[in-house]
Chain A
């Protein structure tokens, strides 16, 4: 019963929305009723789906690249304090610089006819930092007793990394991955918006385009699809997290959540 509660709230919300828009005669280009959005969704399904596919591909590619890159850099940092000290400030600079402001520059660099590359690079930059910082934190937060034990048994650098540091880092790394997955999508969308017309054919561009043409129901349909994508991504990473941690991690045991 409790599980169905959000559904009831959703239905109630849609009903109130539909009725009040009709009652108050709100113009469609300001706020279309849900029924019209559903119709726009159905009518534009092939277009929206192909646009979604472009955005999803970009998001997944950026997510994967930031995961591998962030983890690799975190491992490098964990191996050498010197490298960490020299590179970390620049990673932070990249993180705190608003992505929208570097987007035009990246687009110029990769060329206007390769907007998808710019989108990929921008989304990767945005998604990269949570992986780097969480993996770094995880690699450092090793049980000191276990660390002593590895020293006692003269573990090599690699044994320490693979048998102690990486497993210790796994929960933090996966929490970072969940944030990063969402950011990869946000990065893709923002980059598409900034890139504007031309080569960009992703969902974000379709939404922007619909807005410019005042095709508000289609805009809402695109937004809905974007939310669902974000939700699906979050759910997928959470599933992986649960699968990897459920046997040993206190927050993922039988009975936990």
Chain B
């Protein structure tokens, strides 16, 4: 269980980005954080990754080993081919290319890019670049995958496909996901748990559990569980937007 215990972030300018955020993320869960822009959800994710320090509070129960991180932008190294990009986390950990080769191949196979190992990012579509970023995040076999609006810049068809592929990976690999989005529909479709945040200063306003079948596919979008989830999360998001500090 990853526990976010009373995290606050104040900037010297007096801006309160986050205010006493409480959140529990069970192992193996798919938790989405939904909130309007500027609610500090990216900051929260950076803190979970250890890239940013909270002013107060603590993050407890980070899993052993590496954490996977995927941004809205694929942030690939343009000078390196797909294989070298996926190799990066292992390379930085001192794993030789030879030892890493099977892991890289496995990671590329997981995202369906085995045939593109030697392509350069420039030659790839937005969706493929995002797959490379996911393969790179998974190459260390993390127990926790952090994703900051990873599919927000993609077209809907690509986004839906990547959603399904991500769910498949999550089910098969058993890692936990913390997923940031401002799409209610995307969050309900993907998640076991959803936290709704208020705008500045960011606070967790409500937490939801989404039921539904263990294996989700297009039919889930027509189910009562999905529609109930969407209704509830939308309602909370509306309430969150009314909150004035």
Contacts and interface: CB of A to CB of B under 8 A. Distances in A.
Interface string B112-127: 0000000011100000
A145 B51 contact: no
Q: Is the contact region of chain B dominated by helix, strand, or loop, or is it mixed?
A: loop
Given A248-B120, A250-B122, A153 B75 contact: no
Contacts of B78: 248-249
Given A152-B50, A163-B91, A248-B122, A145 B75 contact: yes
Contact of B67 (A152, A170, A248, A249): A152
A11 B125 CA distance: 48
B88 interface: yes
A159 B87 CA distance: 14
B143 to A, nearest CB: 15
A155 B92 CA distance: 6
Nearest to A150: B92
B122 A253 contact: yes
Contact of A167 (B50, B79, B91, B120): B79
Contact of B66 (A153, A163, A170): A153
Interface in B90-117: 91-93
Interface in A145-159: 145-146, 148-155, 159
Nearest to A247: B120
A143 interface: yes
Contacts, number: 50
Contact of B88 (A143, A148, A149, A151): A149
B73 interface: yes
B69 A152 contact: yes
Nearest to A155: B92
B71 interface: yes
A210 to B, nearest CB: 48
B58 interface: no
B24 to A, nearest CB: 23
B89 interface: yes
Interface in A133-153: 143, 145-146, 148-153
B168 interface: no
Contact of A148 (B69, B93, B120, B121): B69
Contacts of B66: 153
Most interface-central of B80, B88, B89 (chain A CB within 10 A): B88
A232 B133 CA distance: 42
Interface string B48-86: 011100000000000000110101010101111000000
12 contacts: A145-B71, A146-B75, A148-B49, A148-B71, A153-B92, A153-B93, A159-B92, A163-B92, A170-B79, A247-B79, A249-B79, A253-B122
Interface of B: 46, 49-51, 66-67, 69, 71, 73, 75, 77-80, 88-89, 91-93, 120-122
Given A145-B75, A149-B88, 20 more contacts: A143-B75, A148-B46, A148-B49, A148-B51, A148-B69, A151-B51, A152-B50, A152-B67, A153-B88, A153-B89, A153-B92, A159-B92, A163-B92, A167-B77, A167-B79, A247-B120, A248-B79, A248-B120, A249-B78, A250-B122
Interface of A: 143, 145-146, 148-155, 159, 163-164, 167, 170, 247-250, 253
